[in-house]
Amino acid sequence: MATNSDDSSTFNFGDRNTEIHKVAAKPPAFWRNKPKLWFLQLEAQFSNSGISNDTTKYNIVDAALDENVLDFVVDILSNPPHDDKYETLKNALLNRLTDTEESRLKKLLTEMWNLAIDARPISYGK
């Protein structure tokens, strides 16, 4: 027999009771600028909450995404795969929102170039 409260369940196994505590997974809003860190935090919550079901994990991620991020994965959300829904969604978000090393280098060089141009002394016609 099991009895429930908000955060635990007690199961009666013959002459002893076993209490199981649950922790709800409540992820913060998706961190678009740091998706890898966001997934690390989320997976720690999954572990603490005992969440291992693929569809549950997929639905938690889906619910945490705002409309701007949803646009990047609307193809997956509209037609989710039968298996590995969570990993498919996670990989798509990481691949589509994480800058490649090449694009980060290009951005850095552009910023350095702009700083160098701004730092040049102004010469007044002589």
For 61: left if phi > 0, alpha if psi spans -120 to 50, otherwise beta; the answer is alpha
Statement: the pTM of the whole predicted model exceeds 0.85: no
What is the arithmetic mean of pLDDT over 65-89? 96
Supply the pLDDT for residue 6. 42
Residue 79's alpha-carbon distances to 13, 34, 86, 93, in angstroms, are: 43, 26, 13, 15
Taking only the tens place, the pLDDT of each residue in 17-73 is 665 556 678 888 999 989 999 999 999 999 999 999 999 999 999 999 999 999 999
Supply the pLDDT for residue 116. 81
Supply the pLDDT for residue 5. 40
